[in-house]
A and B are shown apart, each in its own frame.
Chain A
Amino acid sequence: EDQVTQSPEALRLQEGESSSLNCSYTVSGLRGLFWYRQDPGKGPEFLFTLYSAGEEKEKERLKATLTKKESFLHITAPKPEDSATYLCAVRSGNNRLAFGKGNQVVVIP
């Protein structure tokens, strides 16, 4: 069964203090790894899709990277508006998306 583990579960950062979120996965035949951002009471908002080891994608202060066993979401010089829960998901050969429990990030001004 596909497994996705995100760490740390919760993270408090000072504004401007860069950090990384980890998503480790065990799947048979990775067909894509996805990062989403979710604000309280809202649906997940798509951030990135990564397909193969070595791939990197960036958007504003966020950068996602992928290896054969894990993905990192780097947050550079975060601002309070980056506070959210970040969700990682993988799609494998069974075509289902398996989600991690999320990284809850709070950025303090």
Chain B
Amino acid sequence: KAGVTQTPRYLIKTRGQQVTLSCSPISGHRSVSWYQQTPGQGLQFLFEYFSETQRNKGNFPGRFSGRQFSNSRSEMNVSTLELGDSALYLCASSPESGSGNTIYFGEGSWLTVV
């Protein structure tokens, strides 16, 4: 069974640009969540989508947005990139949303903003 797939794996963007990251969940999983990982802050929750609806949102500015498609695939977008947005962006999926569900991570997308 294929795991969570994230594309692209590595990308470099210039400050002020925008970026879109893509995530394909494990087959049959309907919940997708996104996390930002940095050396200083660790893993921080961005948002969760289930059945194309945002179920939960972390404490990030509105420049960070996401969506989920009917096939459960998800994208996240960061607009007006800042140097501090350089991080590993991780997507995770689970069969259902919420309580007690184990989430499974992809390998992440490394974003460098210069």
- Which residues of B pack against A, CB within 8 Å? 4, 6, 33, 35, 42-45, 48, 55-56, 58, 90, 97-108
Question: CA A95 – CA B108 in complex, angstroms?
Answer: 22
Q: A31-B100, A96-B58, A97-B103 are in contact. Are A87 and B90 (CB under 8 A)?
A: no
A/B pair count, beta carbons within 8 Å: 58
Say yes or no: A32-B45 contact (C-beta < 8 A), given A45-B105, A95-B55, A95-B56: no
- Listed by A's residue number, 25 A-B pairs whose Cβ atoms lie within 8 Å are A31-B98, A31-B99, A32-B101, A34-B102, A42-B107, A43-B90, A43-B107, A45-B105, A46-B103, A49-B100, A87-B43, A89-B43, A91-B98, A91-B99, A91-B101, A94-B56, A95-B48, A95-B56, A96-B58, A97-B33, A97-B45, A97-B103, A99-B42, A101-B42, A102-B42
